[in-house]
Every structure is written in C-alpha cells, then in structure tokens.
Amino acid sequence: MIDPVSGSIFAVALLNQPDIHYELARVRISDGARLFTERFTPAALDPTTNGQRGALALANGRVYVPFGGRNGDCGIYNGWIFGLPVGGGGPVPTWKTTVHNGAGLWTSGGLAVDGSGNIYGTSGNSDCTSPCAFDFSESVLKLSPTLGLLDYMAPNNWSNLNAADADLGGTGPTLLSNNLIFQVGKNGDAFLINATNMGHVGNGAYSNHACPNRTVDAAYGGAAYDGTRVYVPCIDGIEAVTINTSAPSFALAWHGPATSYSGPPIVADGLVWTIEPGGTLYGLNPSTGAITRSASIGGAQHFATPAAAGGLILVAAGGNLKAFYAAPVPLTLVSPRNLDFGYQPPGTTSAPKTVTITNRGSANLTISNITTSSNFNQTNTCPPLPAVLVPGASCGVSVTFSPTGLGAVSGTLTITDNGVGGPHTVALSGRGSYWSGWSRMAASMTSAPAVSTWGTNRLDVFARGQDNALYHTWYDGTWHYWSRIPANMTSAPTAVSWGLNRIDVFARGQDNALYHTYTTDGATTWVYWTRIPASMTSAPSVSSWGSGRLDVFARGQDNALYRTWTADGTNWNYWERLSASMTSDPAATSAAGSNRIDVFARGSDNALYSRTYDTTNGWQYWVRLGGNLASAPAVSTWGVNRLDVFALGQDLAAYHLWSTDGGATWNYWDRLDGSMSSTPASASWASGRIDLFDRGPDFALDQNTYSGP
C-alpha cells in the first residue's frame, strides 16, 4: 500500500527467523530505504494458519491489516484486524471476529475507510452452522478508528452460507454515495446496506442477485464504483450494476466478455479495466461493456487487480510488472539522449552529430518546437513546424557545436511535443579548447613515457616495456611500430633532441646509477649504454639549450635535487646538489639558444615548485606554484619565455599550467580530462604546438595535441 503524502510504501511480510511471525515494513519509495519494521504477531494468532492476503488500509495515522485463513480452511484461524501506527511503536488496537474457528477477513479486496475514518471489512464462513449463536461470520463490519465494533449486517441466511462455504466475504465492501455500502458474496447475491443503520442480521436496505450466471464461486476480490455503476467481478465476466442511491436498489446493466476468471476491476481513464488471468488485460466501455482496449499480458494470478497512474495501466503479470497506456498516445523516442562533441577550437564549428526523433506510439506526434541552448545549433529534416509524425515515422536533427571561448560548455536540445513525458531533451556537452582530445596507441608500458622532437612533424616517444628494456616509437607523419632497444631500466626514461637526427636518452639502472644512450642517425642505430655514477631515487630528466649541451636532473637519497651536465655531449661534470625536498621525479626544459633551464618538482605538500637557472644569474630560489599533484610534473617549451607544465590531479586527469613571460605569471590549471596512470610527457616542435603523452589505465600510450595561440 502506498502513502503518497509521505512517499512511503507499506507491506506485510511473513518471516521464519528467528521464528515464524508477521512484520509490517515501511519503505521510502524514492530510494528504497527501509524506514522501520514492526513485529505484530500476538500469541493468539498462529501465523502458520492465519493468512494475510487482504489489501491494507491507511487512515487515522494507522495501517489497518486484515487476516483470514488459508486455502482449504486448514487449522485454527480467525478474522483479525490490526491498527498499526504508521511511524511504528505505540499501542496497536485489534479486532477479532469470533470465538469460533474461521470468519476470516481474507478477500484480496481488503478493507474500506469512510470519511470519518471508520473501518469496514467483510468476514467469511466460520465452523458455526445451524443451529448456533451469531458469531460475526458472514458479516459486513463497521469498526471505529480504534477498532471498536460500531455496527454490522449479516444476511438472514448467514448460517446456511457458513455451511455451504459461500462466504459473503469473498469480496470486500464497496462504499457508495448517500451512505450506502455494496457487498456481493460468493453465491452472487448482493446487498445495499445503509452505513448509518446497518440492520444487524437482515438483508440490508436492498438485496438481489448480481452475478446472473453463477450461484457458486460467483465473485471474488472487490468491486469498482464510478458514481453511477458498480462493476462486479463475477467470475465469468464483469457485471455492470446501475445503482439507485435515492431509493436503494440496483439493476443489471451489461455483462462483460466471457472470461475464465474475471479479476477485480478498476475504473481509470474512462474505461473499466479487468484482468483475465489466462493472459489478457481488458479495457471495457463503461456504458456498454464493449471491449475498447485489450492487451496480452502472458498470464496473472487469480484475484489480480490492475492499477492506474500517470496515464498507465500497471499489471502484475506473473513474475513481471507490465505497463500499458490507457489510451492511444504518441510516444517520443529520442536517440541518442546525449551528445558529447569533445574538444573544439573556439571560433570554429564542429562536424554535425545527429539525433533521431521517432513516434513509437499509436497516435500522431506533434512537434511544436525544436531548440538548442548555449553554443549549440541545430538544423532538422522534420516537417515544417508544427511537425506531425504519424505512428512509426521519424525525422533527424543535426546538432553542431561552436564554442566562443575556452572551457567546458553544456547545453540542451529541447523537443517540445505532445508525446508522453514531453518535452524531450538531449544533453549536449563540449569543450572549447585548442586540444584535440585523447587518442590511444597500442602499447604495454611499465613506466611513464618520454618524448623528444628535433623539428616539425617529428616526435620520438620512449617507454620501459614489460622486460625492462627501452621501447621506441616515432612519428614523421605517421606512427611507426615500437622497436626494442636493449636495456635493464628501473625508471622511466627521459629524452631530448638538440639537433637533426640526434636523440639522447637517459634512465636509471639496476644500481641506481644514470645510464645514457644516443643516436645520430634518427634512431636507426644506438650507441651502447654508458654509465654515469649516481645514487638516484627517481627517474632522471634532461634538457638542452643547444648543440652538445645536456643538463640531467635527478632526486638523491636525501630527496634533494641533483644535477650533472655536459657542454660537449661527452665529458660530464660531477653532480651538483640543489637543495629541495622533492616527492617526485624532476622535470626540466630549455628553449633553444636561451642559456636557461627551468626545473619543476612536486613538494611534500603535493604542490608544484619551480627553480630557474641562467648563465648570467645562476640558480634562483624555489618558487611555489600551488596545485594538488598526484604525479610528477612534465614540462616543455616552444620558445623563449613560454613554459607549459603538466601533471595528474587527484582525479587522475591531466592538468595544464602555462606561462608566456618566463614564469613571472602563470595561467591557472586547466583540466584536460582523461584517466591516466603515469606522469605525463610533453614536447613542442613549433610555436602553438604541444604534444602531450601519458600512459592510460590499460598501459597503452595516450596522446593529446594542442594547436592554438
């Protein structure tokens, strides 16, 4: 049972731990959170023989729970009603029908509640047959909110009904206007009862037969009322009964389609709905009983009742919940429901992406407007607005992205139409950026990559492989397959090119010393590794400002920065200690001809630090540049005073920090998205060009290219 005010659903469960008992559970509909459970099985109620099948009722701050017997009237049972507080806890009023066995309130139709909060239920047969004293079996009962007996009505032949197992309580009571109650029993006899004076033992204000074709097992569940007629669930088909509430009486109006077992009906969306458990949902004309709608449901349990909400008819069909539209409606299918345009340079327009609109319904779909927001635009192939799509028809919408600046952009494609759930929207996203977005190249890297360039359209990328050897791929207009260079590395490599066809590569060896190899023929052949004594705790980094000049940096055992260098590519100076407290590999760069080095590292606070050297002023002090780095930095330059620094953020996306005045001022970190698993590497072959590389979560090589101002 649903409480729409609190957004809760109540249900009763029969549990077998720690013993067999009943519990009431309250669950929040929005997220499924269980708000409370309450055990409520008294010692006098045997849960193995007392069954809870009847619908619950919500009133007076309580959930009213009816009980009856089980199939075959097995064991000792009675008709019980419990009034459980909706918040759990507190006193629980109860009603028990009889001291005799039976008289259960078992029907699936459950209880009814009037405007004063009084509770109505109908009992079935007891084991009391003629002659015996009246025991509230075969009775329509009126109870107070605290479940005190206020009034009742039992047919004159109540004891005969007991003897024949012809329960009056095969259906629940239906409250009508003018204080009348409609009740039909298993023998098909129906009663109109005055709720203000029910008459006790007697036949109420009026009685007659309501299921003309049946006198045994005639009706089960509950009837439906639309203010004029009661729709009775006679087992062989719905019977419409016209009610006269002024002079209490009724007349049969029509009989619905023949069924093997007519389920309890509802009235919704102008039709009378009932389930034939063999596999059909019927929507009947309330005036004539003609079949207006029908749908195959595959099968349902007996006593199953449809429900209506939001223009839908909901059916419990075996183990499935099925939903059907109550009337012919247009159904708008929009595909896809989101478009991501990725990176697009500001001031340009992307290639179009297409959204398809299809009418999946059974009535015409009218599209009154198609709009986009933000930096997105659309054209479409739909008919002129208002566009009408007949059932099954489609049209297309082409969306483009034209960013006006840098940064993430979101927008919406809105299709205003008369389809169910309209208007319909498509989420649009893109990023104004001079970056291309990430692309992937096959690899199986065990280190961060390194990259160098000696000129336009040349990139050389290096990484350590699964066997700790050095692997090399290069780009000269197309990417080439990885080649293996023998090595036994314990760190990521670093690389630099100071001239055409010249590449110098460095890595840490098994003994923590620095090892160096190079090529002078564009990577066709490599000089054998040479050892440069060191005691490194990081991967090295190398920069070069001109021919033969190489400056190599590494972290020492004391976490300080150390530097060695050569001016001729052959003779190395002893390591120089540059005070620091680094928690990452260093990164260094030099613009050609600048006689300057910029070195970067992550500090103990995860921030980025930089230090600058030039041949005039020597080394400057460390400068804190901020950030919250999850990796070592990478740095590149495309000319004097241009510095581009990259690092992973705590979300493992790549971030970019840059300066156009040699580090005097910096543009704040820009997020480049992605999901990385190593320190990045970057290189610039010309002004306005950066190629950024990283290892992806699958150990492949990822590339992102910048082309802009």
- Would you state the pLDDT for residue 672? 86
User: What does the alpha-carbon distance between residue 3 and residue 145 come to, in Å, rounded to a whole number?
Assistant: 18
pTM listed for this prediction:
0.56
- Would you state the pLDDT for residue 649? 95
Cα 588 to Cα 225, 622, 661: the distances in Å are 83, 14, 17
- Would you state the pLDDT for residue 360? 86
The answer to whether residues 28 and 15 touch, using CB atoms and an 8 Å cutoff, is no
Task: Note the Cα 45 to chain centre separation in Å.
Answer: 43
pLDDT by 10-residue block (mean), the chain, 709 residues: 91 94 93 90 88 94 94 85 91 86 91 97 88 89 97 95 93 96 97 97 96 92 94 94 95 89 88 89 91 87 85 87 84 93 94 96 92 98 96 96 94 94 94 91 94 97 97 97 97 97 98 98 96 97 96 97 95 94 96 94 97 95 96 96 96 95 93 90 96 95 93
Q: Return residue ranges of the chain for CATH 2.60.40.10.
A: 332-429
- Would you state the pLDDT for residue 381? 97
Q: Return residue ranges of the chain for CATH 2.120.10.70.
A: 453-707
Tell me the residue type at 596: R
User: What does the alpha-carbon distance between residue 471 and residue 481 come to, in Å, rounded to a whole number?
Assistant: 10
Question: Tokens 């345009």 map to which residue?
Answer: 341
Cα 219 to Cα 135, 167, 215, 533: the distances in Å are 23, 10, 9, 98
Looking at beta carbons, which pairs linking 706-709 to residues 24 or more positions away fall under 8 Å?
706/434, 706/435, 706/436, 707/345, 707/434, 707/436, 708/345, 708/434, 709/434
Q: For 500, which DSSP code?
A: T
User: What does the alpha-carbon distance between residue 347 and residue 677 come to, in Å, rounded to a whole number?
Assistant: 33
Task: Name the fold adopted by 332-429.
Answer: Immunoglobulin-like (2.60.40)
Nearest CA to 642 out of 606, 605, 680, 592 is that of 592
Pick the CATH number of 453-707 from 3.30.1360.120, 3.40.50.720, 2.120.10.70, 3.40.50.460: 2.120.10.70
- Would you state the pLDDT for residue 590? 95
DSSP for 44-95 reads TS-TTT-B--SPPEEETTEEEEEEB--TT--SS-B-EEEEEETTS-S---EE
Phi, psi for residue 167 in degrees, rounded to 5: -55, 130
The answer to whether residues 581 and 559 touch, using CB atoms and an 8 Å cutoff, is yes
DSSP for 412-448 reads EEEEEESSTT-SEEEEEEEEE-SB---EEE----SS-
User: What does the alpha-carbon distance between residue 505 and residue 464 come to, in Å, rounded to a whole number?
Assistant: 12
User: What does the alpha-carbon distance between residue 700 and residue 193 come to, in Å, rounded to a whole number?
Assistant: 80
Phi, psi for residue 559 in degrees, rounded to 5: 65, 10
